[in-house]
Chains A and B, each alone.
Chain A
Amino acid sequence: MADISYRELIVDGLWHNNQALVALLGLCPLLAVSNTAINGLGLGLATTAVLVASNTTVSLIRNYVRPEVRLPVFVLVIASFVTAIEMGMNAYFHELHKILGIFIPLIVTNCIIIGRAEAFASKNGLQRSLVDGVSVGVGFTLVLLTLGGMRELVGQGTLFDQAHLMFGDAARGLTLRIEDFPGMLIAILPPGAFIGLGLLIMVKNLIDRRLAARAIARVDYPQGAEGAANP
């Protein structure tokens, strides 16, 4: 395990082992909060912050915590960070905090975080755990942001609506609006979340398959004859 390079760690977190698209973890917040891009981004960043903090801490204490009590200790660490971050958001992003509501405290129960603590941070050094936390967190955030953007665009014909909640009044101009498009309700409703996530997974698998085909082609025809094998 210790042999994986940082580059591989990052690519795994963002793509090959993307926790939302491959492991399908953290679905409850993923599906519930991805109704707009800004909501998705907000929750994604909060989750990333918790993940980085918990991975770092768990990695630092991994040699001192006895195995029998490691899970309660991890949960304690995660819950403390989540509560602290929730208070911070309430203080500095009050409106966004109101919209995300219960899903911020629920980050505690996001399986991605305890999963990375148990499967990675408790077995790896500080730097690697930090890199893993950032890349897994960013991977999760990107999925939330993409899914949120898709649902918002199809569902209400806007993109980055209410951007000022996160970036201040200067960001009001970020909001894109398709004129005369009332939106298709289904994208905003819960089924839209499932359909959207399904589409994202499909696209990822298609890309992976094409990359794999190309890799095989490269082995078979070292002289750069990919086009023949991959029409």
Chain B
Amino acid sequence: MKYRDAILIAAAVLASFAVLGTSLVTFTHAMTKDRIAENERQALLRSLYALVPQESVDNDMVSDVIKINEEDHLGSNETTVYRGRKLGQPVATVLTTVVPNGYSGPIKLLVAVRYDGTLGGVRVISHKETPGLGDKVEESRSDWIYSFNDKSLNEPPLEQWGVKRDGGVFDQFTGATITPRAIVQAVKKTLLYVRDHKDALYDRSPTIENQG
């Protein structure tokens, strides 16, 4: 009998701490969730506006979103497409392209394509490339990623969409060719995809997303 009591007390103690711990987490979650959601929204908006200037659009790009599954073209089975419009006219789309063949794993990009087919810009969101070599694709490490600004499928011509070693116009880095080569190819494929599906991308009605 005594033995059973000990077990019951132990269980009760553990259970009450589980309840207390969960309450603390629930309470903190309730206190911070709005601020966290707002932070994430602001961070996303900042990165979108860096590619599509805020004054060039008048819609809420974070909500005007569709999800597409084009793994062959855009590298992932769920690509998010943010759409920018002004007075109802299409301005630009921003796609979350994934580069499947980085030097050490996939590289996630934001690729902004204006309605006229030129690039608003490209940014690397996340990667696992070698520090000091492949990580020069990051905006904070070098200006390389800006070399995509205003490029299109005509400028440079399609066959020059590559790194210089492959006869293209984009720089590679000393000691790291694979990363820039993979990114240039992924951006080119994104441009081709957007060219072929331009109006469909703007016309589809936004995907309703659950908060969080």
Contact = CB atoms under 8 A, between A and B. Distances in A.
A and B: interacting chains: yes
A83 to B, nearest CB: 5
B200 interface: no
A91 B39 contact: yes
Interface stretch (B13-21, B144-152, B153-161): B13-21
Interface in A41-78: 61, 64-66, 68-69, 72-73, 76-77
B22 A80 contact: yes
Contact of B36 (A73, A84, A90): A90
B163 to A, nearest CB: 21
Contact of A76 (B21, B29, B36): B21
B18 to A, nearest CB: 6
Given A76-B21, A81-B24, A88-B28, A189 B13 contact: no
Determine which residue in A35, A80, A155 has the highest number of CB atoms from chain B within 10 A of its CB, and name it. Answer: A80
Interface residues of B, number: 25
Interface string B76-111: 000000000000000000000000000000000000
Given A66-B6, A66-B10, A185-B132, A87 B29 contact: yes
B210 interface: no
B148 to A, nearest CB: 23
B10 A183 contact: no
A66 B28 contact: no
A166 interface: no
A183 B33 CA distance: 40
A73 B13 contact: yes
A188 B43 contact: no
A79 interface: yes
A175 B66 CA distance: 40
Contacts, number: 68
Contacts of B205: none
B32 A87 contact: yes
A73 B24 contact: no
B35 interface: yes
A94 interface: yes
A68 B6 CA distance: 10
B212 interface: no
Nearest to B20: A80
A64 B20 CA distance: 15
A66 B32 CA distance: 34
Given A66-B6, A66-B9, A189-B131, A76 B17 contact: yes
A80 B21 contact: yes
A5 to B, nearest CB: 32
Given A91-B32, A91-B35, A188-B131, A69 B14 contact: yes
Interface of A: 35, 61, 64-66, 68-69, 72-73, 76-77, 79-81, 83-84, 87-88, 90-92, 94-95, 98, 155, 183, 185, 188-189
Given A87-B29, A91-B36, 9 more contacts: A69-B10, A69-B13, A79-B21, A80-B22, A91-B35, A91-B39, A94-B36, A189-B131, A189-B132
21 contacts: A35-B131, A65-B17, A66-B13, A69-B11, A76-B14, A76-B17, A76-B21, A77-B17, A80-B25, A84-B24, A87-B36, A88-B28, A88-B32, A91-B39, A92-B35, A94-B43, A185-B131, A185-B133, A188-B131, A189-B131, A189-B132
